């Protein structure tokens, strides 16, 4: 059996060992951190030294094509970016890869163009002829950089004949029948200002256009005439003189009114007497308040057409209505059809009566 003195001595020896291990671990950890610091420092120094050397690298660079042939437009544009193999120091190449690159101007008219078609609508040029010009432009922004190769080696340009044409503008309203407040309605037609614009683009596209739509416009609870500026729905291959138009939606409060007018008969032969039941028609309609005073009973001409009557099949004739002004809406006839009775007129033959 162990005595208390031996047990206490064993615990103290274990504590001393643990402290020595911790001390050694901390020393090793400190040495490792110092090692990492100097490793990072030497790596940075090497990296800075390496950036001063000259390298060849590939950089994808945006371009814009200028000085196109007159009266022609690109129908299938060439690539928006070219792969440039450049030679420069590491600093310049790295910064060129990392920062925003404004497009280089590719002067199409400055290089020889080779035709693929008889009418020269499809042509091509070799990009190697543009290296010096693009290098000079690139050096305005980045010094000591040289373009040694361009990919692709050939640029194809497909042109179309340019055409200008005046096209109507059409307002695009989402769910146009549900945009009005209660007891209000459209007072006329929705229109734009200007009502048409001159567009420029490939003749093959311009010739097919019936109208230029606006962006979709969402409206609701309109109780008065409303004007909104809205963007035009643009086509990527067309040029527009403006980006927005004004959309005008004329709105007014409406009311319901009615007239009772005589039923008219049309195309009745002289030998026939046509009797209709009833002889009058009640006409209900809706009109905006601003147009209310324009409406009179003389405008409503309900009729039945003798040529439409099928005597053997029907005893009623449909009542029709002559055309009305566009500001009269939702016309309802009561009744919608009329019963009829046809009688033959007995006309004495004057010749026979004269011979008696």
In this structure, the answer to whether residues 145 and 190 fall within a common structural domain is: no
In this structure, the answer to whether residues 130 and 214 fall within a common structural domain is: no
Residues 295-346: tens digit of each pLDDT: 999 999 999 999 888 777 677 889 999 999 999 999 999 999 998 888 887 6
In this structure, the answer to whether residues 147 and 180 fall within a common structural domain is: no
Residues 26-68: tens digit of each pLDDT: 666 666 666 566 566 666 555 565 556 677 888 888 888 888 7
Please state the pTM of the whole predicted model: 0.58
CATH number of the domain bearing residue 221: 2.170.120.40
Within a domain: residue 8? no
Total domains in the chain come to: 3
CB 238 within 8 A of CB 196: no
Residues 282-309: tens digit of each pLDDT: 999 999 999 999 999 999 999 999 988 8
Q: Domain of residue 83: give its range.
A: 54-152
Instruction: Find the helix or strand (DSSP H, E) in which 283 lies.
Output: strand 280-288
Using the 3D structure, point to which of 113, 133, 152 is the last residue of a domain. Answer: 152
In this structure, the answer to whether residues 66 and 148 fall within a common structural domain is: yes
First to last CA, the chain: 172
Within a domain: residue 352? no
Please report the pLDDT score of residue 41 as a whole number: 62
Higher pLDDT, 225 or 91: 225
Q: How far apart are CA 92 and CA 138, in angstroms?
A: 12
Within a domain: residue 38? no
Within a domain: residue 107? yes
DSSP-assigned letter for residue 208:
T
Query: Would you call the peptide bond into 278 cis, given omega within 30 degrees of 0 as the criterion?
Result: yes
Helix (H, G, I), strand (E, B) or coil at 146: strand
Q: What's the whole-number average pLDDT of the chain?
A: 81
Q: How far apart are CA 263 and CA 276, in angstroms?
A: 8
Using the 3D structure, point to which of 152, 172, 192 is the last residue of a domain. Answer: 152
B/e letters for 83-99, b = 16+ CB within 10 Å, e = fewer, are ebebbbebebbeebeee
In this structure, the answer to whether residues 114 and 175 fall within a common structural domain is: no
Using the 3D structure, point to which of 196, 230, 249 is the last residue of a domain. Answer: 249
CB 172 within 8 A of CB 225: no
């Amino acid at each position: 059996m162990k005595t208390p003195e031996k047990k206490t001595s064993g615990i103290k020896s274990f504590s001393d060992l643990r402290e020595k291990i911790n001390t050694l671990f901390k020393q090793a950890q400190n040495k490792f951190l110092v090692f990492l610091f100097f490793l990072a420092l030497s790596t940075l120094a090497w990296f800075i030294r390496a950036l001063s050397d000259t390298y060849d690298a590939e950089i994808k660079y945006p371009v814009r094509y200028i000085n196109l042939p007159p009266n022609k437009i690109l129908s299938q544009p060439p690539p928006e970016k070219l792969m440039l193999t450049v030679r420069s120091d590491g600093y310049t190449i790295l910064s060129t890869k990392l920062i925003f690159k404004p497009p280089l101007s590719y002067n199409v008219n400055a290089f020889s163009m080779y035709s693929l078609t008889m009418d020269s609508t499809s042509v091509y040029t070799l990009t190697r002829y543009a290296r010096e010009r693009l290098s000079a432009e690139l050096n305005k922004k980045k010094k000591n950089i040289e373009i040694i190769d361009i990919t692709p080696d050939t640029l194809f340009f497909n042109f179309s004949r340019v055409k200008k044409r005046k096209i109507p503008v059409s307002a695009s309203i989402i769910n146009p029948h549900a945009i009005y407040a209660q007891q209000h309605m459209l007072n006329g037609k929705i229109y734009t200002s200007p009502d048409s614009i001159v567009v420029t683009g490939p003749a093959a596209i311009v010739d097919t256009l019936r109208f230029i739509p606006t962006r979709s416009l969402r409206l609701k609870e309109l109780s008065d005439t409303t004007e909104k500026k809205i963007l035009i729905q643009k086509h990527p291959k067309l040029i527009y003189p403006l980006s927005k138009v004004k959309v005008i939606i004329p709105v007014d409060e409406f009311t319901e009114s009615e007239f009772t007018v005589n039923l008219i008969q049309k195309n009745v032969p002289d030998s026939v007497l046509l009797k209709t039941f009833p002889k009058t028609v009640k006409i209900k309609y809706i009109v905006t308040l601003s147009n209310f005073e324009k409406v009179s009973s003389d405008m409503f001409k309900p009729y039945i057409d003798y040529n439409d009557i099928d005597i053997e099949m029907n005893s009623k004739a449909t009542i029709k209505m002559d055309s009305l002004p566009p500001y009269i809406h939702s016309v309802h006839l009561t009744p919608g059809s009329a019963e009829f009775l046809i009688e033959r007129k007995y006309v004495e033959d004057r010749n026979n009566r004269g011979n008696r």
